[in-house]
Structure formats: structure tokens, C-alpha cells
Structure 1
Amino acid sequence: MSFGVQVGAWTSQIIDGTYVGICSCSFDWYQQMPLTDSAVRNARPSLEGKDIKLSDGGGLHLLIKPAGQKYWRLNYRYLGKQKTLALGVYPLVTLKDAREARDSAKKILFEGVDPSVHRQNSRAVSKEAAANSFEGVALEWMNVQQVKWSPSYAVKIQSCFDRDIFPYIGRRPVSEVTAPELLIVLRRIVARGAAETAKRARQCLGQVFRYAIATGRAERDPAADLKGALPPVRHQSFANISEPRRIGEVLRMFDSYQGSPVVCAALKLAPMLFVRPGNLRQAEWSEVDLDAATWRIPAEKMKMRQPHIVPLPTQAVELLRELKQLTGRRLDLQPYVFPSARAGGRPMSDNALLVAMRTMGIPKEELTAHGFRHMASTLLHEQGWDTDWIEVQLAHGDHSTRGKYNFAKYLKERTRMMQSWADYLDALRRGAEIIPINQRA
């Protein structure tokens, strides 16, 4: 309930028990009594399109804009000058919050400091602290490194930090993080059975600290002190087959598989080309030159970040020509050789080949999509092909002995090797009893 009395140029009103005076000339609001929560909540903008001020005393007032927004403001004088400090927006900042902010500002003013300047300095300190925190430095390091990371790898690194590292040491100043703190973080990862992830996390931590040293925000790398502190990682080879007779059986199973044409083609090409499964499913028609019988995988898709050439044997070219009639007709809409059957414009699922093999009754303990690489490496070495040719074709980067290889290195020799390998698989598929072993050039 409210009522008002006209007194000269003033209109007096009582709103919810609060005495309010309205100046008819400026429409500024002044109170002789403090505001109440209900008065603030029920206050309405001016019908004349002017700003309204509801005073709470001590320089604090609520500024109501014509559109209805409500802002807390504090008027004060510093060195003889009238100044205003913004204290927030109602209702995010309540009346109680605004009064506490007013009292804090008055204490700062009493000490001879301008509250506005004090706030600016505090924000600068907070911003600097955030930039020098471990999380701030790590995010900065990731931003620098992303130019040479694949999108999937960048997501993997970001997820690892968000899940396993930032919650525990993210807010710590990077210069104050200690080796024992890092060890506790990494042991949590090991405890959930992810020893390999813990090892990689330690390597990334070291890179973050080295970046912090380079940018003048740390003096040493505490991650270096953790060498030998984590349990060794037991590497397990991907399940694979190397017995020729069983390989022939699996290849015949692939030929008779009743799945989609895309998955069927991928099953046949996987052992023939023995590239990484991710490279196979993300292959794009723009990378494949069927006339030249080559598939050029760009560096950003490769694990070692170097472009890679896959010579295509005649069997692969024939299979891809047939598949192109199905998936290569509208490259502007669908660029992938093996597109997803469910999502347009996306590659085949990374589980597509695994699901197909399980459907055929091939257990995961016997063979995985990645196992074709081990299978090819084993048998090509047994057949006498040059190790360097095999390693380059597998896109293995041996930095300690061979250095970074030329992506076109041994291309003629590898082309001959890949054709021989495809012919060898054809012979196994037909059930040949005798397979030539010595194929050394």
C-alpha cells in the first residue's frame, strides 16, 4: 500500500512503510529512511523515460533505468572530487551485498585510497595471478602447441588436464608447485588403472613447466624429479594373427561379410594397406589419386606429424574405383572415402571394423583393426623385405637412429613391396599351400 502528499515542489509517498520524497523537477529519488528488500524489488522505472535513484544512505543508491534495469551505485568524494563506484546489478547483488560493498569502500576511503583505483589494482593482481597459475600457463602452452596437434589429440590433452590435473593444482602459482604435489596427482591416475595416461601426463607436465621457465614464470621443472617414481608401463601388443592359414580364413570371412558396402571395403583394405585405423576411416577422396595409384595422407592426420604416401596396389585401386561410385559422387557434401552411415559429412565410426569382426565371430583377443599393422610387419620381415622400407611404410618415426624420414623415401621400392603384399594376401585368400618367402630386391 502507498500514499502521497503534494508539498510545494515535492511529492511525499510512503511505499511499504518507507518514506520517499520525489523531486518533481529532476525525478531523482531521495529517502530519509534506508531502503527495504521489498521496496527495491517492487520499484518500477519512470514513465517519463528518465533515470530514477533510490537512496539507501551513505552515498549508496539504486539506479533504475527506463528499461527497468537496476544498478547499485556509490557516490563518494575523493580529493574534493565527486566520484561514483559501480557495485553490481540487482538482483544478482542484493541490498545486503550492496551495503557490505559500500562499507568496504568506505573503509578503503578512510585509509586515504580511492576505492575505484583500489578495485582496478585488485583486478590487475587477480588477472596476473590467474596468468601465473598452473592452469593459466598450461592453457597458454596448449594454445601454442595446437598448431601442430591434430584436433583429436588436442581434445585428448585438454580432457586429461581438465579431469586429472586442473582440479588439484590448477589454481596453484606455477612457480610454487612441487614434485610431491605432482606425484599425488599422477598416482590418482595410476590408481584407476591408467598407467599409460599417467606417463603421458608427466611428459605434458614437464613441457608446461619448461614453457613456464621460458616465459619467466618458473625457475625449474619439478616434473623432472618424478623420473622413476611411477610404476613402469607394461606395453601389450595389439591382438594380431601371423599364421598364414588363419589369415586366409579371416580374409575369406571378410569377403563373405554381409554388412554395408563401406564397411566391407574397409575390411578388405585394412590388411592390404595396414595403415593406422584412424587414418583409414578418415581417408578423403581428395587425398587419393587412383590414376597415380597413391594415397597421400597430410601431416596433420599423421601421428608423427609428417605427410605419408601409401602406394596403392592394383587390387586396392580396383576396390576404390568401385567404392567411389557410391561415396565419391558429391565431394562438396561428403568428402570421406568411408563415410558414416548415420551422420552426414562425418567419417565411419572408429568401432565399425571392430563390430564387424565381432559379428563374424573373430574375438578381440585374436585380432583388432590395429593388429593388421603388426601382422604385415611380421610377415614382410619374414619374407625378407628391407626393414627401412617396412618402417617407412608403417610411418614409424625413429628419431634416434634414422631421424625424420622423407615421406617419399623408398617410394619405388615400397610400391613394389605393397603390390607383392597384396598378391600374397590374395594367395592366402585362395588357400594357396606354398607361399614364396624370399622377396628381397
Structure 2
Amino acid sequence: MTKKSDALTALQVKNAKPKEKPYKLFDGGGLYLEVAPTGSRIWRLKYRQLNGKENRLSFGPYPEITLQEARERRLEARKLLLNGVDPAKYRDDAKRRAVEQAANTFEKIAREWYATKVPTWSARTAKNMIQRLEADIFPEIGSRPIDELKHRDIIIALRKIEERGAAEIAHRLKAVCSKIFSYAIQCGLTDRNLVVDMKDVLKTRRASHFAAIDADELPAFLGSLERNEARMFQPTRIALRLMLLVFVRTSELIETPWSEINLEKCEWIIPWQRMKRGKLTVNPDTTNHHVCLSRQACDLLRELHAITGGGKYLFPNQRDHKRPISNNTILVALERMGYKGRMTGHGFRALAMSTIKERLGYRHEVVDRQLAHAPKDKVASAYDRAQFLAERSKMSKRPLSDVLSSASYC
């Protein structure tokens, strides 16, 4: 005779009714259905732990968990035991990992990454970074666990930025997201940097530089400035002429206090704290920048001193003299002169670099130091402390007519 099987049938499970006391229906291999007086039916597995102690594991309620599903879970538990893993501990660890994964949202990880980087950034960079993330990234994917994000989720967020015409911001935030994923990988929170694979999902940007006229266009520019058809205030016109003569960055010029200028010696020294490389949080350049002034530049500064010398700044704000003019003042002035899209404040530096090297024949290192550029070779920068003051002074004192005379139609 065939031995009667002890395994349960689906009908037995379905028809299991509650009694006054809890009872069990066994399916074999430690699996049983526990029926409570309340009518609830729970699948459980009785097994021996690796240390020999008896333990029980719950698989969930019937009918949510069917007989077939309960048997499959029993098989999974037995495989774990064969591999030396306690199924109850495995379940608890899985639950813990799921909770941690849900808690490790993209926004949470991004803010942790941000906190590690803030000490190395300027206040302005830090502010811009978090504002961009809060405005464009967090609303889209911030609440999602970082390990559950897909390529498509990030692409959608970035293309929304691109579609509103902010292509440059989209590319920058793509790079930021890549850094956040890299940080998450290093922290063991995900296994893959999704953004690294996204090389072609955004429109290709054309390489662009700050708009700048060339030396051949200088006569026309100076003629327009002299005629003042744009009806600019005299300090603004002086600022534009100084940009042509001293080659400093726009912010370095407009934020200059009179205390840095020695009109008697015709000397201008910018403290390193105000220079771009001096503002670096990590390894700032603590070298003061000597702005070599030509006779023309000194004459302009004296003229300007008669207008604004009673205040703190060379170029005070019209509404609040305790503050300098804004960065946009130079750009707006150029636009009013008809040079919108053709010239910028930074363009004066590009114009100086190309013109002095090509038309006046000065060495690249001398012009570079006049522009306060950092040597590209880090090893060389560690040893090269030369300021080239003599050559820079001679270069700065070359009259503007030397440049104009080299223009093709002057």
C-alpha cells in the first residue's frame, strides 16, 4: 500500500475553522498553519538554529500567502540553513537593509556630500550649489532612495532644466549628480554611478568663451566711448577705460576701495584676500597682486578721485554709497554702447592677452602674471614666485597708441 502523505491540501487550508484553542495543521519539513480562535491563519516554520536551538519563523497570513508560496519560502529557508545562514537573522537583516535603503534618499545623500564639500568652497559657490539642487533636482528625485533610482529618473529631471533654456545649468547639475553618486558608492549605499553612462542624453554644448572684440576693433570702441552717445556717467566711462589699461577682473576693479590706491606713487596693490585665488578655501594664494599702472591709468584715477574720492569705493553704488556698483554695470554699459554679445567685462582680459602677446611681442608668462593667472603646472607654481614686476611695469606703460597703431585700419 502507498503510504498516506502528511502534506496539506489547498482545500484543507481553505476549510480550516477556528476552535476554542489555537491549533496547527502540519505540512511537513517544519511548515505548519497556525489557526487562532479569532480565525486568523498564519504560516510558520519550525527549525533548528545553527547552534541546535529550536526557533520559529513566520511567513505571513493566509490567504495572502498561499500554500504554494509558503512551501517556496520553506525551501528558501532550508537552502539558507544548508549554507550556514540562519533564516530568521537573514530576514531581520533584509528588513533592516530595506529600512536603511528607504531612508537613504537622494536628497539625504546629496546634503551629506554637500556638507563634506562646503569647507572647500567659497560662500557664493556653496549658496549657488544648494539653491540649484533645491530648485531643480530635489523636487524631482530627492525623495527617492538613491539605490532605487533609474537612468530615466535622472534624465527626466535634467531635461526639464534643459527645456526651459538653461542648458548650461543642466550640464553642471549632471556633473554634480555624478559626484553625489560617487560619494554614495564610497559610503556603500549604492553600487553604480548612473550618471557616468549619460554621455549623450543632453544636447551638446558648443565651446564658448567670453565675448571680446579684437585689437582691430579698438579704434571704433574708443571712438564710441569718447562720443558717449550712450550717455553714461563719467565714473562708468572711466571704469571702461581702466578695464582696457589694467586688465583686472571686473569684480576686482569695481570693489576696489580708495585705500588700495596710492596716487602719489601711482601704485595699486590688491590684497590677496580680494583676488580670485586668494579666496580659495583650500591652499589659497597669499600673494598680493601688484597692478602695474601706466601714466594714462594714473591720470584716470586722479580724475576719478575728484568725483568719488570722498567715499570708500572707486565706484560707489548710486543708491548706497557704502556699497560698490554691481557686476552688471559694466555689462549694461557695453550693451548701451551697442556691444551686446560682442564684448564683456571679462573680454577686456582676453583682449589684453591676445593683443599684448601678438601685437607687442611680450612673453606669455609676463602677461599671465599681469592678469593674475595661476601657473597651469602645479609643480612649476610651487617654485615660481617671480612677479616680473620690471617687465610688467614697462609693458603697462606702453602707450595705448602702440596698440592702436598696430590695428589694421588705424
Is the shorter-chain TM-score for this pair beyond 0.5, marking a shared fold?
yes
Q: Is the 8 A contact 1:294 1:311 kept in 2?
A: yes
Return the match for 2:324 from 342, 347, 359: 347
State the AA in 2 paired with 1:270. M
Q: Please state how far the C-alpha of 1:393 moved relative to its aligned partner.
A: 3.7
Corresponding residue for 2:198? 226
State the AA in 2 paired with 1:250. F
Aligned residue runs from structure 1 range 120-135, under 5 A: 132-135=104-107
CA spacing shift, 1:235–1:282, aligned 2, 3 Å: farther
Q: Please state how far the C-alpha of 1:397 moved relative to its aligned partner.
A: 4.7
Tell me whether 1:138 sits opposite 2:110 in the alignment: yes
Return the match for 1:319 from 296, 300, 310: 300
Aligned residue runs from structure 1 range 29-428, under 5 A: 132-244=104-216, 246-255=217-226, 257=228, 259-285=232-258, 291=265, 292-298=267-273, 301-302=276-277, 305=280, 306-307=284-285, 309-314=289-294, 315-324=296-305, 326-327=307-308, 329=310, 331=312, 336-360=313-337, 362-382=338-358, 383-397=360-374, 399=376, 401=377, 405=381, 409-413=385-389, 416-417=391-392, 419-421=394-396, 423-427=398-402
Cα distance in 1 for partners of 2:260, 2:103 equals: 41
Cα distance in 1 for partners of 2:222, 2:173 equals: 39
More relative contact order, 1 or 2 (CA 8 Å, 6+ apart) = 2
Over aligned residues, Cα RMSD in angstroms? Answer: 3.8
Q: Please state how far the C-alpha of 1:421 moved relative to its aligned partner.
A: 4.3
* Bigger strand share: 1
Q: Please state how far the C-alpha of 1:193 moved relative to its aligned partner.
A: 3.0
* Bigger helix share: 2
CA spacing shift, 1:396–1:293, aligned 2, 3 Å: closer
1:299-321 Cα offsets, whole Å, 9 max, x none, are 67459835472523134344335
CA spacing shift, 1:410–1:142, aligned 2, 3 Å: same
Q: Please state how far the C-alpha of 1:275 moved relative to its aligned partner.
A: 2.9
Corresponding residue for 2:90? none
Q: Please state how far the C-alpha of 1:168 moved relative to its aligned partner.
A: 0.7
Cα distance in 2 for partners of 1:376, 1:247 equals: 11
Q: TM-score, normalised by structure 2?
A: 0.61
State the AA in 1 paired with 2:301. L
Cα distance in 2 for partners of 1:372, 1:281 equals: 14
Q: Is the 8 A contact 2:122 2:279 kept in 1?
A: no
Q: Please state how far the C-alpha of 1:222 moved relative to its aligned partner.
A: 2.2
1:231-278 Cα offsets, whole Å, 9 max, x none, are 32102333322234x313323443454533432331111122223323
Q: Please state how far the C-alpha of 1:130 moved relative to its aligned partner.
A: 8.9
Q: Is the 8 A contact 1:274 1:372 kept in 2?
A: yes
1:347 aligned counterpart, secondary structure: coil
Corresponding residue for 1:110? none
Q: Is the 8 A contact 1:241 1:247 kept in 2?
A: yes
Percent of counterpart pairs with the same letter? 31
Gaps of 5+ in 1: 1-124, 436-441
CA spacing shift, 1:395–1:293, aligned 2, 3 Å: closer
Gaps of 5+ in 2: 1-96
Q: TM-score, normalised by structure 1?
A: 0.57
2:271 aligned counterpart, secondary structure: strand
Q: Is the 8 A contact 2:244 2:348 kept in 1?
A: yes
1:405 aligned counterpart, secondary structure: helix
CA spacing shift, 1:380–1:227, aligned 2, 3 Å: same
Q: Please state how far the C-alpha of 1:129 moved relative to its aligned partner.
A: 7.6
Cα distance in 1 for partners of 2:383, 2:301 equals: 23
CA spacing shift, 1:224–1:353, aligned 2, 3 Å: same
CA spacing shift, 1:128–1:264, aligned 2, 3 Å: farther
CA spacing shift, 1:322–1:406, aligned 2, 3 Å: farther
Corresponding residue for 1:93? none
Corresponding residue for 1:63? none
CA spacing shift, 1:227–1:365, aligned 2, 3 Å: closer
CA spacing shift, 1:131–1:252, aligned 2, 3 Å: farther
State the AA in 2 paired with 1:405. S
Q: Is the 8 A contact 2:272 2:278 kept in 1?
A: no
